[in-house]
Structure 1
């Protein structure tokens, strides 16, 4: 990740140095002045994520402990211009995430590592302000779905033999904000987005009284994305 941020910083610095050559007379120019007039535009993104779980319980008990870690995002962008201030965006991508669960009420074998690889497909509406020289803030919101390739939903083994299982399909709503920067050769956009799962993701153990899943009424993902977009 440090290499990725270094490369991003390097390219942005080069763009800034290149653009300064056009400002020697004190005037300001607008990079990519006609970029947002396109009906369709395309791009890709790289970024990081931090996934968490929210648990609802049937009976009050000690909370399941979730240890979060930083994951990686990569994907494509398709942007449809509606007008000067509204865009419709499709951002299919792959998200790699890892969470560790500790069940404090269970004296032994109470740790589960949950590795997830999501094919994530959000449909978003982007609301932008008026462009201010070479940058434009925006907010974004929408819905999404994902396929968890590591869900183990069809695995007949459960927590009784150490397998923590999740449902394959999940649905979310998403909200976020960011800033479009119009550089000399491309548009660069850092953004932050929060996601909240709507449906229950837990695949319960065969035993209805399982100490791992029996008291969980709902388990739902929530998370944060930090993405860097190039168009």
Structure 2
């Protein structure tokens, strides 16, 4: 996560137009862009999903917790923005988010068969539906910082929730619908013909996503109290 913040900081600095950095009275691009009641656009970006696990019994050893290996996925989606006033907008960002996570479960024998049971790849394709409040500052020349926050619902197309198989048959199951809250920041850059916005946002699951195995003592799910998504989005928006 720290790497993402450093990368975004570099992108934001390099993306600042020269007249926005050094000229106190730049020529204003697309002056009336934010005065429209409705604005539309699209976004492309990257994501990194993980899980936060809580356990029924304290294992007492961090090395025996479930390990999550995160990878970088991609995002694509649409934007609809409703202007409330100069500083507030309501933003809808339905999008497709693809990612894969690898889980390492403790307690399996150090054999080839045990290793295959201990490692599970979780591929997820989410359709995410956030409703966000965008809180901006005044426009400074051709850029405008903002904060964004709000709830979201995610539909997991690869959840396997209705599958009759479970981890004992090699199938990891998650709930189809999950609910989150999102919090982030970004900067609007007003270019000559369009508005370009890099942003970074954290996603925090509110609901338990795990579908447990049939066996209440399952070595995969038996000790899990809850499993909630933690994620990071970096989006590049064009309006």
Q: Same fold (TM over 0.5)?
A: yes
The one of 120, 125, 135 aligned to 2:128: 120
My pick for the range that moved more, 181-190 or 60-69, is 60-69
Gaps of 5+ in 2: 1-10
The one of 102, 123, 134 aligned to 1:100: 102
Q: For residue 5 of structure 1, what is the aligned residue in structure 2? A: none
My pick for the range that moved more, 102-111 or 127-136, is 102-111
Separation in structure 1 between the aligned mates of residue 134 and residue 173 of structure 2, nearest angstrom: 35
What displacement does 1:27 show? 5.9
Residue 31 of structure 1 aligns to a residue whose secondary structure is coil
What displacement does 1:104 show? 1.8
Q: For residue 30 of structure 1, what is the aligned residue in structure 2? A: 28
Residue 188 of structure 1 aligns to a residue whose secondary structure is strand
My pick for the range that moved more, 26-35 or 95-104, is 26-35
Q: For residue 213 of structure 1, what is the aligned residue in structure 2? A: 221
Runs of 4 or more, structure 1, over 4 Å off, are none
Separation in structure 1 between the aligned mates of residue 36 and residue 196 of structure 2, nearest angstrom: 16
Q: For residue 88 of structure 2, what is the aligned residue in structure 1? A: 86
Residue 68 of structure 2 aligns to a residue whose secondary structure is strand
The answer to whether the Cα contact below 8 Å between 2:25 and 2:141 also exists between their aligned partners in 1 is no
Separation in structure 1 between the aligned mates of residue 25 and residue 37 of structure 2, nearest angstrom: 30
CA 1:216 to 1:27, structure 2 compared with 1: closer, same or farther past 3 Å? Answer: closer
Instruction: Write the deviation string for residues 142-171 of structure 1: whole angstroms up to 9, x where unpaired.
Output: 000010000000110001111111000000
Separation in structure 1 between the aligned mates of residue 126 and residue 143 of structure 2, nearest angstrom: 32
Gaps of 5+ in 1: 1-8
Instruction: Write the deviation string for residues 83-131 of structure 1: whole angstroms up to 9, x where unpaired.
Output: 0000000000000011000012222110100000000000000000000
Q: For residue 6 of structure 2, what is the aligned residue in structure 1? A: none
Q: How many residues align?
A: 215
Separation in structure 1 between the aligned mates of residue 172 and residue 28 of structure 2, nearest angstrom: 53
Q: For residue 58 of structure 1, what is the aligned residue in structure 2? A: 56
Residue 124 of structure 1 aligns to a residue whose secondary structure is strand
- TM-score under structure 2 normalisation? 0.86
Residue 36 of structure 1 aligns to a residue whose secondary structure is helix
Q: For residue 38 of structure 2, what is the aligned residue in structure 1? A: 40
Question: Where do 1:146-225 residues align within 5 Å?
Answer: 146-225=154-233
Root mean square deviation of aligned Cα? 2.0
Structure 1 residue 137 corresponds to structure 2 residue 145: yes
Separation in structure 1 between the aligned mates of residue 190 and residue 183 of structure 2, nearest angstrom: 23
What displacement does 1:28 show? 2.1
Separation in structure 2 between the aligned mates of residue 104 and residue 209 of structure 1, nearest angstrom: 14
My pick for the range that moved more, 59-68 or 81-90, is 59-68
Separation in structure 2 between the aligned mates of residue 64 and residue 106 of structure 1, nearest angstrom: 12
